[in-house]
Structure 1
Amino acid sequence: MSFAKFVTKNRIKMGLSRRQLSILSNIQLLRIHRIEEGRKLYANEVTRLAKGLGVSESEILVRVDQDYEEKVEEERKRTLQQALERMQNEKN
């Protein structure tokens, strides 16, 4: 599960709107929007977002790390596929 989905899922599970999460976490509404769209989370937002979602900071950081690892793996696969396609095109 992506970090963005984790935030959205937990917000909805708590019955919160984005505005309510914004107030509880003291993070601007636009930033909540962007975080849920998959934009990066700034270090100074970790504690506040954890508080707003009712989860630990470590859970937030684990999710961010998992999301990063998934993105790196996707990029690695994409790069490998492109290299294989170039090699096949050079053979033909």
Structure 2
Amino acid sequence: AFPGNIRKIIYTTNVIESLNSQFRKITKTKLIFPNDDSLMKMLYLAVERVAKKWTRAYADWDLVINQLNIIFSDILDEKRTLN
């Protein structure tokens, strides 16, 4: 039920899958972390490394952001009132 330009971004991007793959690589090679903070630091560094490769620009990105703000305005308004 999303407009075409939003559907295109949702269905053609694999950013989340790529990030999850990087996380699996890290956690698979090192099975034991001394504490939760060490795991979080490793995942943070993985995000930093992967983010450098994220260079794709999307057509009509401003339009997509505005449409998403309209579609999810009720949820966003709730979040704003909680903060």
Same fold (TM over 0.5): no
Q: 1 or 2 for the larger relative contact order (CA 8 Å, sep ≥6)?
A: 2
TM-score (norm 1): 0.31
Between Structure 1 and Structure 2, the one with more helix by share is 1
TM-score (norm 2): 0.34
